[in-house]
Amino acid sequence: MHKGKLTLKILLILLATDFLETFTHFCFKKSALPESGFMISGFQDALIFIKSVASSGFLWLGLTSVLLTFIIWSTVLSKIDLSVAVPVCSFSYILVPLVSVILLHEKVSALRWAGISFILVGIILVSLSTKKDKTVIT
């Protein structure tokens, strides 16, 4: 089924889902950070870990973000093709490393940044292809 074109409004909504997805990953990482040295060697340890992570406000913020992303994503998919939406929504592959470097003080290698730049080029090519694609698939 062929849906509508990628409009500026839909593109902005897709970018919003990327920011929400990035926020979700950040929250999940922050909820697990206090337990980073925790070793799970048995069922009891797993329960302690789950209890600790579940008590984190970041976990609940992340889960709320997942729900909001799902609602927005479902709406977007009713407007444009999945084959367009998913690649365009790949900005989180750029945003997550940026947030990781800035807020979590992680190191991202030059090779990884090169890969991220290839993803960016792919996003641009996919979004431009929707302007030229006039075929209707039934």
This prediction's pTM? 0.74
Give pLDDT, residue 136.
43
Q: Are 135 and 83 in contact (CB under 8 A)?
A: no
Whole-number Å distance between alpha carbons of 97 and 89? 15
SS3 state of residue 2: coil
Element (H, E) at 47: helix 43-54
pLDDT along the chain (138 residues), means of 10: 75 91 93 73 83 88 95 90 82 89 93 91 78 49
Q: What is the DSSP letter of 78?
A: T
Give pLDDT, residue 62.
95
Give pLDDT, residue 133.
53
Give pLDDT, residue 35.
63
Give pLDDT, residue 65.
96
Give pLDDT, residue 131.
62
Domain ranges of the chain: 8-132
Give pLDDT, residue 138.
39
Measured CA distances, 73 to 14, 90, 123 (Å) = 8, 13, 17
